Amino acid sequence: MNPHLRVTLVQTELEWQDPAANRHRLAAHFRGLLGHTDLVVLPEMFSTGFSMDASTLAEDMHGPTIEWMREEAAALGCVITGSLIVREADRCHNRLVWARPDGTLEHYDKRHLFRMANEQQHYAAGTRRLVTEIKGWRVCPLICYDLRFPVWSRSRGDYDLLLYV
């Protein structure tokens, strides 16, 4: 494992349900990061805010936000991750996307949906964890409320870093 992993956390105000404005705002935070970070971590539902309007706001895996993530990761030479609303077949997911600078993607669908906001009525729960690699670090990225379920995130010796957006 490489002992140095430079992580940039981006937390900013979001424009409610306005993906284009949020991509523009987030890109402004990326200025000056080239050569200074290995991983940019964006918030849960960074393109829309935590919305239950999944059917209106969902994009597919070739939508503008995923393409933006690919372009920004390539331009910065780093991984960009965060969650957004993704439609796959006839179901919507609160999906964490792991976008590498070479254009490849991995994803994790939030397993534990936030019942107090009725998230389960709008999103399908994920069924598998993701463990991915960056600079020799094995990373298990999860989303928000997954934090309340330690059995799901328990290390089986399969990751070095547990990351929640």
pLDDT at 41 over 80: yes
Express each pLDDT in 60-75 by its tens digit. 999 999 999 999 999 9
> Which residue of the set 78, 92, 140, 144 is catalytic?
144
Express each pLDDT in 99-149 by its tens digit. 999 999 999 999 999 999 999 999 999 999 999 999 999 999 999 999 999
What is the reported pLDDT for 74?
Answer: 98
Asked if 44 is an active-site residue, the reply is yes
Comparing C-alpha atoms, which of 40, 16, 45, 18 is closest to residue 29?
40
What is the reported pLDDT for 1?
Answer: 65
Measured distance CA(47)–CA(94) in Å, rounded: 11
> Which residue of the set 59, 72, 92, 110 is catalytic?
110
pTM above 0.75, yes or no: yes
Express each pLDDT in 83-111 by its tens digit. 999 999 999 999 999 999 999 999 999 99
What 3 state SS string does 27-79 have? HHHHCCCCCCCCEEECCCCCCCCCCCCHHHHCECCCCHHHHHHHHHHHHHCCE
Asked if 110 is an active-site residue, the reply is yes
Measured distance CA(21)–CA(102) in Å, rounded: 25
> Which residue of the set 44, 59, 72, 119 is catalytic?
44
What is the reported pLDDT for 71?
Answer: 98
What is the reported pLDDT for 3?
Answer: 83
